[in-house]
Chains A and B, each alone.
Chain A
Amino acid sequence: MPKTLAEKVYDAHVVRSAAGEPDLLFIDLHLVHEVTSPQAFDGLRAAGRTVRRPDLTMATEDHNVPTLDILAPIADPVSRAQVEALRRNTAEFGIRLAPMGDRDQGIVHVIGPQLGLTQPGMTIVCGDSHTSTHGAFGALAFGIGTSEVEHVLATQTLPQYRPKQMAVTVDGELPPGVSAKDIILAVIAEIGTGGGQGHVIEYRGSAIEKLSMEARMTICNMSIEAGAKAGLIAPDQTTFDFLQGRPHAPQGADWDAAVEYWKTLRTDEGAVFDREVRIDASTLTPFVTWGTNPGQGLPISGSVPDPAQFADENDRRDVEAALAYMGLTAGTPLREIKVDTVFLGSCTNGRIEDLRVAAELLRGKTIDPATRMLVVPGSVAVKAQAEEEGLDQVFVAAGAEWRGAGCSMCLGMNPDQLKPGERSASTSNRNFQGRQGKGGRTHLVSPAVAAATALTGTLTAPADLENAGV
């Protein structure tokens, strides 16, 4: 029977299947960070269990880490205790850790691909919903809760039910200034935050095939924002070129054997998807969110919607609540929304390509004096690469702050937070109430829109800059 890519990867990992029970899936790579793991390690200890495969497990410090003075002890005692717990746990159970200051440290979803630990056809899990990022390589990668983290630590497997299959096909040529972030925001606005529930989404089509690995990661990253279990993209030459030579990628004859297998990881002709969505890339424009979930987005040329236009009572109440929280009035053109802060970073858009796009727009210019811009590379390696290319100088000369690597203002577990009522244009993935700091208001944008917005102080597309005289 013809199979989808996701079905092939799933089937190749079934350790055991029995009628009336979930399948037991083998997990090839388990990524760990400080926030969702301490209770799992405690559980292991309480039951006298060990970690079955420390060699298939990798830990990093990312959510709590300060992006200034990273070698000083963390000032917040609660954050510090959590990071110290991870250090103790990884030492006790023999797990590799990339701590602050390590050359491999960074956001968990940035370092896996960077080290070559993320490869096509693998199953990858992490106690973090944006594990879907790794699907960009044709891996089946999904987020799990702490009980499941404990389960994977103990057994290197997970009980799973076969997910449903969904195809999102993006064909056509992306207009200039429109990026992967705009594609995925448009997809989520189209299918809604629950649209992908129970499904794995395969992104396909000519526009997807043309994307770089960084851009593919941006798209797969936000699959969870459409409610999907995972998102993936068939591996191709772009994938192989990205991986070749990375520290943990296969070498020599192993490389050839691996590539031969990876080339089979494509959805078969005639495979059936439970749901299909088509997007014409040539019609897309820069997309921004106006509300408090990632499905509440519009092309930047649009205006804040009027709750009265929503027929469903629940939707109307939702929009009213979102506008009240966001401090927005129906009918306001999105381009007139003034921001206080621009955040460039996160596992969605904190990779080198994202920094390059933003730096190009900022080169030789200065940002709006009333706007603060934080540039937070996704990993120590991204930071080093950017510095080698002189991008840090461009950001600093433009008036932005160049920071150390971590999750930072994506969720504000470290000191990088919005103050109540402050408004950000953020390249991260969630505009939930209070996500970036209590009372903070978030507009999700692409790196290009983030940079253009920093220059003008209001939500701006790169194409608007000339008219705006910057």
Chain B
Amino acid sequence: MDAFTTHTGTAAPLRRTNVDTDQIIPAEYLKRITRTGFEDGLFVAWRTNEPDFVLNKPEYAGASVLVAGPDFGTGSSREHAVWALLDGGFRVVISSRFADIFRNNSTKAGLLTVLLPQADVEALWTAVEADPTTEVTVDLQAKEVRYAGVTVPFDIDDYTRWRLLEGLDDVGLTERHLADIDAYEAARQPWLPKALPVLPA
């Protein structure tokens, strides 16, 4: 995973609530077995059917910060939604509420999800709609979003922040605790089910 320290870029205002992961990337793109190359599926239905969809507007074409309405990333657990956003050039999504699995997936793949109060999201929408060239800086060191002279602090748990700053992979971290896993396994109840061997119906 790429480390995330600070990012500066322009922002796209996605004034929609309840953006589910089927909208971020529809199921037909999930048949692929790669981890990259999903940019063609990103918001594809809206990009195809709605000429004035925000990402169809040339002034937001280069945006790398997505500012979304509440309940972003609901629905399916597909991590492809995170990959598609990264492939589509986004490094940060800002919203007042994220679905849990989406937020969790984002931290595994190096997409920063920033939780801000809805009033701050509205202010940011207004700013980037008034001037799409507004530069937005998302600083994970300082835990701040900065734009046009405005500074908004945000909260993120220290552990996730450290992992993102260092670009650390979870499996490697867990492998430091193999002795604990061995000990836990040795004490498990013998009657707990095993999928193997295959038993008669």
Please give the residue numbers on chain A whose beta carbons come within 8 Å of chain B beta carbons, in ascending order. Answer: 15-16, 20-22, 24, 26, 28-29, 35-36, 38-39, 42, 47, 49, 52, 54-58, 63-64, 76, 78-79, 81-82, 85, 95-96, 103-104, 116-117, 119, 122, 127-129, 143-148, 150-151, 154-157, 159, 161, 193-194, 197-198, 224, 227, 229, 247-250, 254-255, 257-258, 261, 293, 295, 314-315, 317-318, 321, 381, 411-413, 430, 432-435, 438
B22–A430 CB distance below 8 A: yes
Answer whether residue B201 sits at the interface, using C-beta atoms and an 8 A cutoff: yes
Query: Residue B130 at the A interface, CB < 8 A?
Result: no
* CB-CB contacts below 8 Å: B102-121 with A: 104-105, 108-109
Judging by beta carbons under 8 Å apart, are A249 and B77 in contact?
Answer: no
Is A248 in contact with B199, judged by CB distance below 8 angstroms?
A: yes
A295 to B194, CA, bound (A): 37
CB of B18 within 8 Å of the partner chain: yes
Nearest Cβ on chain A to B83's Cβ, whole angstroms? 9
Do B177 and A36 touch across chains, with their CB atoms under 8 A apart? no
Q: Is the CB of A434 within 8 A of B174?
A: no
Contact of A293 with B190 in the complex, beta carbons under 8 Å: no
Chain A residues positioned under 8 Å from B71 (CB to CB): 193-194, 227
Whether A144 lies near B74 (C-beta < 8 A) is no
The answer on a CB contact under 8 Å between B177 and A15 is yes
Q: Is the pair A145, B108 in contact by a Cβ cutoff of 8 Å?
A: yes
Of A49, A85, A411, most buried by chain B (CB within 10 Å of CB) is A411
Task: For B105, list chain A residues within 8 Å (CB).
Answer: 145-148
A76: B residues at CB distance < 8 A: 31
Chain B 150-201 interface residues, beta-carbon cutoff 8 Å to A = 157-159, 170-171, 173-175, 177-178, 180-181, 184-185, 188-196, 198-201
Judging by beta carbons under 8 Å apart, are A318 and B18 in contact?
yes
Assuming the contacts A227-B74, A254-B190, asked whether A148 and B195 have C-beta atoms less than 8 A apart, the reply is no
Complex contact B170–A147 (CB within 8 A) = yes
Say yes or no: is B132 at the interface (Cβ < 8 Å to chain A): no
Give residues in B with beta carbon < 8 Å to A: 15-18, 20, 22-23, 26-28, 30-35, 45, 69-71, 74-80, 82, 97, 99-101, 104-105, 108-109, 157-159, 170-171, 173-175, 177-178, 180-181, 184-185, 188-196, 198-201
A26 touches B184 (CB 8 A): yes
B31 touches A56 (CB 8 A): no
- Assuming A144-B101, A145-B82, A247-B200, what are 18 further A-B pairs, CB within 8 angstroms? A16-B177, A39-B35, A47-B171, A81-B33, A82-B32, A96-B196, A116-B193, A151-B170, A193-B18, A194-B71, A198-B100, A247-B199, A257-B189, A318-B16, A413-B28, A413-B30, A432-B23, A434-B45
Measured CA separation A430–B23 after assembly (Å): 12
Are A314 and B196 in contact, with the CB atoms below 8 A? no
* One of A155, A258, A317 near B175 (C-beta < 8 A): A155
Q: Are B31 and A79 in contact (CB under 8 A)?
A: yes
User: A145-B79, A145-B101, A227-B100 given as contacts; is B22 within 8 A of A29 (CB)?
Assistant: no
Is there contact, CB below 8 Å, between A438 and B45? yes
Asked whether A194 lies within 8 Å of B193 as measured between CB atoms, the reply is no
Q: Tell me, rounded to whole Å, the shortest Cβ–Cβ distance linking B191 to chain A.
A: 4
7 smallest CB-CB distances across A and B, nearest first, come from: A147-B108, A145-B105, A145-B79, A38-B33, A254-B191, A58-B195, A250-B191
B195 touches A227 (CB 8 A): no
A247 touching B177 in the complex, CB below 8 Å, given contacts A122-B192, A145-B82: no
Q: A56-B194, A147-B108, A254-B191 are in contact. Are A197 and B31 (CB under 8 A)?
A: no
B residues in contact with A250, CB < 8 Å: 191, 193
B69: contacting residue among A39, A229, A314, CB under 8 A? A314
Contact present for B159 and A129 (CB under 8 Å): no
The residue among A85, A143, A381 with the most chain B CB atoms within 10 A of its own CB is: A143
In whole Å, how far is B31's beta carbon from the nearest beta carbon of chain A?
4
Verify B193–A20 contact, CB threshold 8 A.
no
